[in-house]
Amino acid sequence: MFDSYRGNTLRYDPDRCINCGMCSRVCPHGVFVPGRETAVLSASVSCMECGACALNCPVQAITVQSGVGCAWAMISAALRGRDMDSGECSCGGEQPGSCCGAAQEKSE
């Protein structure tokens, strides 16, 4: 299982980047900052895998699997009326009790 607390699925290819600045404008956590020639991946561990950067990159220099990290867990918990801090959501992917995995959806 992927552990979103220790890493994420964000991948950045600076060779493709045209330095348009969209990634730094749309990222809610400042993962990307404008650089001299390309965007700079400055805080990759802050990525919540929402996918905004990848969706707005005109040259597909960024990829991320949105729906595997805590952003998805928070959205899913909110949609289900659950509290992330209550222990009902463990952000644990496919594990029972997770608010972001298929196992939780099957049990509801």
Q: Residue 65: pLDDT band by 50, 70, 90 thresholds?
A: confident
- The DSSP output letter for 48 is -
pTM for the full predicted model: 0.60
CATH of 11-63, one of 1.10.10.60, 3.30.70.20, 3.50.50.60, 3.30.56.10: 3.30.70.20
Q: Residue 6: pLDDT band by 50, 70, 90 thresholds?
A: low
* Single-letter residue type at 34: P
Domain spans of the chain, in order of start = 11-63, 81-107
End-to-end CA gap in the chain: 22
The token duo for 91 is 């952000």
